[in-house]
Each structure stands twice: as structure tokens, then as C-alpha cells.
Amino acid sequence: MPLVQIDLERSLAERLGGQISDGIHQALVDALGMDPTDKFQIFRTHAPGEIVFDPAYNGVDRRRLVSVQIQMVHMYDVTTKWAMFDEIAKRLEEIGVRNDDLLISIVENGFEDWYAGKSRS
């Protein structure tokens, strides 16, 4: 059950929030083989100046930052994770979010670290 947290400028969320949500979700379904009903996302919107970043870090031309943090169970190999990154970037680029503006990270933990509304007994 990935939990996806997206930080972005409020104006971008207002304009493309639904498409960003759908693109990230479909990328997880396709790249990770995730159940399509497993959709948990939190959008955190920010005013101009609330997201601070270096526009040239890592040799890119970053104009705005869209941060996507994915918390998930540690069960995927590196190749699968990279495929997921590529799929997210591809889908978001299709709706106008530049690859250079993306920062995607994964936070992993174990199955025992989740509760999703069901008793374990």
C-alpha cells in the first residue's frame, strides 16, 4: 500500500492536480503491479516561495519543484523502482510537468508498519 505525498505550488495543483494524481497512480499500477484500488495520496499545496530549491542541482534546468514522496513496503528491486520513476516522469511529462522539475523519493518500511483500517486478529 503505497502512500503518495505530493508537494507542489498551489496554482499547479489547481490546474493539473487531478491529472497528476491519475498519472502517478497509473504509473504505480503499471510499474509495480499494484492493485488499482490501492490509491492513497496526500497533496500539500504551497504558495510561491514556500518550496525552496536549487534550480541547477544535478545539472538540470529546474523551474519549479514537484516533490513526490512514496512510502511503501520494502519489497521491490532497484530495477523495478527505476521503472516506476521513469513511468511517473513519462506520465507527468505528458500533461506538462517537466522531468527536470520532478524530485521523486521512496521511503520504505515493513508490512508490520502499516494499518489500513483492518484488524490483524
pTM above 0.85, yes or no: yes
pLDDT score at 3? 97
Greatest Cα-to-Cα distance within the chain, rounded to the nearest angstrom: 51
Q: Render pLDDT for 68-105 as a digit per residue (tens, 0 to 9).
A: 999 999 999 999 999 999 999 999 999 999 999 999 99
Q: Render pLDDT for 29-54 as a digit per residue (tens, 0 to 9).
A: 999 999 999 999 999 999 999 999 99
Domain residue spans in the chain?
2-109
pLDDT score at 119? 66
Class of domain 2-109: alpha beta
pLDDT score at 118? 75
Task: In whole angstroms, give the CA distance from residue 97 to residue 50.
Answer: 19
Contact assessment for residue 1 and residue 116, using Cβ atoms and an 8 Å cutoff: yes
